[in-house]
A and B are shown apart, each in its own frame.
Chain A
Amino acid sequence: MGVAMAGMLVSGLRTLPSTIWEAVFAAGAAWFGYRMLQARRGIRPSPWRTSHPLPHLVECGAMAFMFLILPAAAPAEGTAGGMSMTMTATQSRFSFLTLPLAVFLFGYVVWLGDRVALHVPALATATGDARPVTGSGPGSGSGYAATPYYLAPRCAVICKITMGITMGYMLILML
């Protein structure tokens, strides 16, 4: 996802055609949608899978949306500085989606920031068991949270925060 975003922002960093990225993120959205349904049914996630699939579903959907809305912008309008994120009048009909998507992503970023201080102690006391939780948050539909197995939990959260802010910025540019 980071590679795809870099390619959208800076034309020199484009690695794959837009159609491939669209397929990748559509598949990702389908997978996380399936995981959402599983969570709704109360199926416990395995410890190495995320217990919050909703943000990943939205992120994949937002990426697919951006690639679909701006299909030809990158090669046609890309300059040395990067691609244009502005839309034509026809494309701007869908711009009403960008603000709620961006707000959701910023909400996810802030929610992650709230959790940063909690990850390290959780790792220190990790047992590998999934346990019921009462907290709310993005995608908390299963009622279970797996103990994180990240080797660098804060680094992982900061990466997610950076990705969320960058993707939100790209969406805001499309307003």
Chain B
Amino acid sequence: MTESLAAGPPAAGHAVGRAAAGPAALDARRKLQLALGVIWVLDGILQYQPSMFTASFPGMLAESAHGNPAVVAGPITWSANLIGHHVVVLNAIFATIQLALGLGIAWRPTVRLALAASAAWSLAIWWLGEGFGGILAGAASPVSGAPGPVVLYAILAVLLWPADRDPDAPSVAGRFIGRRPAQAVWLVLWGSLAAFALLPASRAPGAISHMLTDSADGAPAWLAWIDTHARTGEGGLTWAAPPGSLASSRPRASPSPSTAPAA
């Protein structure tokens, strides 16, 4: 297994030699790692917003338990209650962790540690903050963020791991896990998005319009404007099931809180 440029802490002599040759050039994988770092920094700063230090944050987490099996919903409710009792301290810790993940990915000596922590933290948020994106609740829809944006961070952390098992892979994603597994991940991701789009939660009349309305609520003016206009255009789409069908008789499930916690 060969190591890439961005792999782990450099030896002192190597670092001096590299510096003497000028700042190290960024390869494609390192650029993508830094992009992941930027997203984590942005998440951390969003988590520091004053509104996240209020009861609305644990309330948003608790909503993700709705519709999930008890074994999934129980820990979500427990963590939401815990956060509700110590919202200031715990939210500050969460925000700091996410900021540290971003900076840790940026700082080369800690890139491996930060990527591993990034994957673990993402999976924890995916469960406790997003309720697995509503997949098990039957409420998953690409419009509401399913299968959950934060799970993509975990996938990226694995795909961008700084080691080369297949250095000749045609894409960066295949260099660590191999080209076939990378293609499988890509297929599962887009296949699941297509499948979620066909679920009743997405096909019910007005479902997408409701999701867009929910997205616009509390959003900045320019984002709300986009959602509003998208909602207007959605009226002409043919995703909606015909009246009287099974899909149209199904009650609309609550959208997944895809942004919780600020991911």
Contact = CB atoms under 8 A, between A and B. Distances in A.
Q: Please classify the interface of chain B as helix (H, G, I), strand (E, B), loop, or mixed, using the class held by over half of its residues.
A: helix
B41 A165 contact: yes
A39 interface: no
B190 interface: no
Interface string B40-53: 01100110111000
Interface size class of A (residues with CB under 8 A): 35 or more
Nearest to A107: B38
B10 A135 contact: no
A43 interface: no
Interface in A153-175: 161, 165, 168-169, 172-173, 175
Nearest to A164: B41
A117 B109 contact: yes
B34 interface: yes
B16 A121 contact: yes
A113 B37 CA distance: 10
B20 A110 contact: no
A114 B107 contact: yes
B45 A168 contact: yes
Contacts of B22: 131-135, 145
A175 B51 CA distance: 12
B119 interface: no
Contacts of B243: none
B221 A113 contact: no
B223 to A, nearest CB: 8
Nearest to A122: B19
A38 interface: no
B221 A89 contact: yes
A169 B23 CA distance: 29
A14 to B, nearest CB: 20
Interface of A: 89, 92-93, 95-96, 99, 102-103, 106-107, 109-118, 121-122, 124-125, 131-137, 145, 161, 165, 168-169, 172-173, 175
27 contacts: A89-B221, A93-B222, A95-B221, A95-B222, A99-B220, A106-B42, A106-B45, A106-B102, A110-B37, A111-B106, A113-B37, A114-B106, A118-B15, A118-B19, A122-B19, A124-B19, A125-B20, A134-B22, A135-B23, A135-B25, A136-B25, A136-B26, A137-B23, A145-B22, A168-B45, A169-B48, A172-B45
